[in-house]
A = this chain, B = another copy of it.
Amino acid sequence: MEKKRVYLFEEADGKNRNLFGGKGAGLADMTKAGLPVPPGFIITTEVCKEYQELGKNLPEGLMDEVLQAMKKVEEKVGKKFADPSNPLLVSVRSGAPISMPGMMDTILNLGLNDETVEGLAKASKNERFAYDSYRRFIQMFGNVVLGISHEKFEEILEHYKKEQGAKLDSELTAESLKKVVKDYKELVKKETGKDFPQDPYTQLELAIRAVFDSWNNERAIKYREIHNIPDTLGTAVNIVTMVFGNMGDDSGTGVAFTRNPSTGEKEFYGEYLTNAQGEDVVAGIRTPQPISKLAEEMPEVYKQLLEVRDLLEKYYRDMQDIEFTIERGKLYMLQTRNGKRTARAAVKIAVDMAKEGLITKEEAILRVSPEQINQLLHAQIDPDAPKKVIAKGLPASPGAACGRVVFSSREAEKRGKEGEKIILVRPETTPDDIGGLAAAQGVLTSRGGMTSHAAVVARGMGKPAVVGCEVIRIDLSKEEFKVGDIVVKKEDIITIDGSTGEVILGEVPMIPPTLSEELKELLSWADEVRKIGVRANADTPVDAQKAFEYGAEGIGLARTEHMFLGERLPLVQEMILAETEEERRKALDKLLPVQREDFVGLFKAMQGKPVTIRLIDPPLHEFLPPLIDLTVEVELMKAKGITGKELEEKERLLSVVKRLHEFNPMMGFRGCRLGVVYPEIFEMQTRAIMEAAVIVAKEGLPVKPEIMIPVVGLESEMEKLADLIHRIAKEVLEKNKINIEYKVGTMIEVPRAAIIADKLAKNAEFFSFGTNDLTQMTFAYSRDDAEGKFLGFYREKGYLEYDPFEHLDREGVGELMKMAVERGRKVRPDLKIGICGEHGGDPNSIEFCYLIGLDYVSCSPFRVPIARLAAAHATLKHQKQMAFVDRTV
């Protein structure tokens, strides 16, 4: 026997969305559940594929099957398709396995022609209704199937509305509508050279073809591209008996959510229109009524709807988005699907449903996407407020911020600390800008990508950032930026939305972040499930405190160089400008107590959880003024005839900056390379860490320091620097007659480190993947440059499916990580392995980290809740026994 191609609703299996599409599956489910669904049938997605394969030809015999199904529907309804006296009308609707709202075509009222319209008028005793339906049909069919522009039909309609003096379509009389129909048919003849097809069976076949064709219309292809939906899925076609919401005031049509999709409250939520067909609601010509009003207008129908709601939620175990029509007081269900919801609602619904026993805790966890949590943790722009968007950059750090535009970090820092709201605008930022970033409400840059300095630091601080906004042209000397003709000067107020990348002129109202009880509960469930630890990247006690509150199980990365900035910068510069080891040691002696103090704060904030401290990482020239600025300064001084001591000092500084200058600083004299050449720096830092640990331990508090060496690429580096650290640690502990457990480990961020991981593991007790740098080196992408230069282009044109700085590149970087894990654990089976690059807070990357067996991920404090949930998702997704995993929301 041939494969069955056409299924009545009662024959189809609602679980098989791939075959029946989302809409068909819902209709099948509801039909079987005894809900009032108009009879109908589904042509499967397989037919769509066949149609495409046959070069846009319907497979042989299909229309016979369709007609057989139609016969059964006719029997049920008691009307006949194409019957001139009392015609059965149908809608022909698309329905893909994954919802693609509005992308494909639908035709209503099919089956009408010059004869059947009269039958309909008679049978319904409503001539106006019949002609209204007919003109709607011609218009929709003419547009969708025959390709005649909507506007041409609207012109005719407008003409008769004006002639009749009607404001609304629904005011048009039967007479007017008849004229409209006549003109519509003439339009069709003129445009297509043929009469409007009068044979309902021809109409039906053309409509089915049109729906299949619409699978490959431009916007559907684009939509699938964006949402990563395979082109091979195809759409089903649903043929549904027409029910009419436009038969008078006892009729209507509406949409509803079984719970509030905005707040998640368990309340019936929706709206409807009386005497209307579906498209009227969408068109927004008349304002729909809230669903609660239906309780007054049609109490019976409303009661029935509430029953449907309960039944559907029980069946689907999720909040449903439903469409219904009331025909002369009788309720018909036309669609049900899982409803879209805000992040806030998603959390509340999931937790509530788990508590109601509708779903399990594991299901509740999977119902909320980690990125939804992200939305909950930052201030948001009030979606209802008007706003003037002047530019769009990359949404680098979520949340919205508003303030006065300032172009200098120093000024931003000063005014920000005094309590002013500042938006820092820079071409890009450097570690020098940290103070300004910290004191500003948010940052806007014209260069750099999602992982540029500004982006990373802003996310780390939980501060909104829009970066790489290349359309703005910043003029630092004039202290202004331009977008087209708009000039934004210093002191002007702007708002930036780090969740969308929008730059908005003036102030826009905000809604505050909420960390609801439900979210806390959901996250505690996630903690029970997940198998991979979550730590935070935090450099200050304040950040550490925040991380702890958000549930971090330790610090995975404390960057010591961030402690070298601000008021301590002069000390660091003294160290760098030192010409002998002795001078350098003197400067380091001054830094020791301040570093120690930092570490005491970190240890205390983490209350005995492990704290991984990375020794100094960036090249030293980052702590000095940029070469180009200094060169210009010196040249200008010379040109102005300035001489003497002032010039000499500048020139001396310039010569140091020149000596330290590097063509490719990313691959330069940094990390452990500094520690090898200037061991006194690492010695000071180790001493500060261990002395801090001693102070905390002597107060009777638990403390777990982990000392991490960055930029390691050689076995000798790891060996000799671990020796150095152990030597200093032993010295400090012996002197203080105390024993404190500590660990020494390394970043894996240089490709070579991953390759020789077995050799490094001899001396490293833990690894932490620095995937920012590892990605840079593996791809040979400089993340500060690549985005604006070619990376954006690569993503846009499909060379790259995603930004490898956002999601771990499993194929390339991931191979190196797997290699490092395998080789490292071969030598040291209990090797602790984590990740502290930006990817540590990215759900997709967290899943990969779980799969290759990492012990923990570490991310910015604000992403800790996201990571906790994502880690739970990873565990659940890969427990094969869980059947509900392949649900498509």
Contacts and interface: CB of A to CB of B under 8 A. Distances in A.
Interface of A: 627-628, 631-632, 635-636, 639-640, 662-669, 673, 676-677, 711, 713-714, 716-717, 720, 749-752, 755-756, 759, 773, 776-782, 784-786, 789-790, 793-794, 797-800, 809, 811-813, 815-816
Given A628-B628, A713-B812, A755-B816, A668 B636 contact: no
Q: What are the nearest 3 A-B pairs in CB distance? A: A664-B782, A752-B812, A669-B789
B812 A756 contact: yes
B668 A665 contact: no
Chain B CB count within 10 A is highest, among A627, A669, A720, for A669
Contact of A815 (B632, B636, B755, B786): B755
Nearest to A634: B632
Describe A's contact surface by its main secondary structure. helix
Nearest to A773: B780
A811 B716 contact: no
A795 to B, nearest CB: 11
A617 B639 CA distance: 39
Contacts of A759: 811
A373 to B, nearest CB: 32
A262 B532 CA distance: 70
A667 B669 contact: no
How many monomers of this chain does the complex have?
2
Contact of A717 (B627, B635, B750, B799): B799
Interface centre among A662, A667, A717, A749 (most CB of B within 10 A): A667
B752 A789 contact: no
B636 A799 contact: no
Given A636-B636, A799-B714, A780 B750 contact: yes
A779 B664 CA distance: 13
Contacts of A800: 714, 716
Contacts of A779: 667, 713, 750, 752
Interface centre among A677, A717, A751, A777 (most CB of B within 10 A): A751
Contact of A662 (B631, B662, B750, B789): B789
A790 B679 CA distance: 13
Given A716-B799, A752-B779, A752-B780, 10 more contacts: A636-B639, A663-B666, A663-B782, A665-B785, A669-B785, A714-B794, A714-B800, A751-B751, A755-B811, A756-B812
Contacts of A797: 676
B631 A780 contact: no
A680 to B, nearest CB: 14
* Of listed A640, A755, A800, residue having the most chain B CB within 10 A: A755
B794 A777 contact: no
Given A751-B751, A799-B717, A668 B785 contact: yes
Given A635-B632, A793-B676, A665 B663 contact: yes
Contacts of A756: 811-812
Contact of A751 (B716, B749, B777): B777
Given A799-B714, A812-B755, A781 B632 contact: no
Contacts of A711: 780
A676 B786 CA distance: 14
A227 to B, nearest CB: 20
A750 B797 CA distance: 21
A709 to B, nearest CB: 13
A749 to B, nearest CB: 8
A510 to B, nearest CB: 34
A779 B759 CA distance: 15
A676 B751 contact: no
A632 B638 CA distance: 12
Nearest to A673: B790
Contacts of A782: 662-668
A8 to B, nearest CB: 45
B663 A784 contact: yes
Contact of A627 (B628, B665, B677, B784): B628
Given A664-B785, A785-B667, A812-B756, A780 B777 contact: yes
23 contacts: A627-B628, A628-B628, A632-B632, A632-B635, A662-B785, A663-B665, A664-B664, A664-B784, A665-B785, A667-B667, A667-B781, A667-B782, A669-B785, A677-B790, A716-B798, A717-B799, A720-B799, A750-B778, A751-B812, A752-B780, A752-B809, A755-B811, A755-B815
B777 A669 contact: no
A632 B635 CA distance: 7
A624 to B, nearest CB: 15
A749 B677 CA distance: 29
A789 B714 CA distance: 17
Contacts of A676: 790, 793-794, 797, 799
Contacts of A752: 778-780, 809, 812-813
Contacts of A749: 780
B665 A666 contact: no
A666 B813 CA distance: 19
A323 to B, nearest CB: 41
Nearest to A477: B638
Nearest to A752: B812
Given A720-B799, A777-B780, A780-B773, A789 B668 contact: yes
Contacts of A793: 676-677
A779 B711 CA distance: 9
Contacts of A780: 666-667, 711, 713, 749-752, 773, 777
A776 B636 CA distance: 37
Contacts of A667: 664, 666-667, 776-777, 779-782, 785-786
A719 to B, nearest CB: 10
Name, among A665, A666, A777, the residue most crowded by chain B CB atoms within 10 Å (CB to CB). Answer: A777
Contacts of A773: 780
Nearest to A819: B815
Contacts of A755: 778, 811-812, 815-816
Nearest to A448: B663
A721 to B, nearest CB: 10
A794 B674 CA distance: 11
Contacts of A813: 752
Contacts of A790: 669, 673, 676-677
A773 B664 CA distance: 13
A773 B794 CA distance: 22
A815 B664 CA distance: 24
Contacts of A639: 636, 639-640
Contacts of A673: 789-790
Contacts of A677: 790, 793
Contacts of A636: 635-636, 639
A784 B664 CA distance: 8
Nearest to A632: B635
Contacts of A716: 798-800
A815 B819 CA distance: 11
Nearest to A671: B780
A706 B700 CA distance: 71
Nearest to A633: B635
Question: Quick one: which of A639, A716, A789 has the most chain B CB within 10 A?
Answer: A789
A751 B819 CA distance: 14
Contact of A666 (B640, B664, B713, B794): B664
Contacts of A789: 662, 668-669, 673
A819 to B, nearest CB: 9
A664 B662 CA distance: 9
Nearest to A638: B636
Contacts of A811: 755-756, 759
A751 B677 CA distance: 27
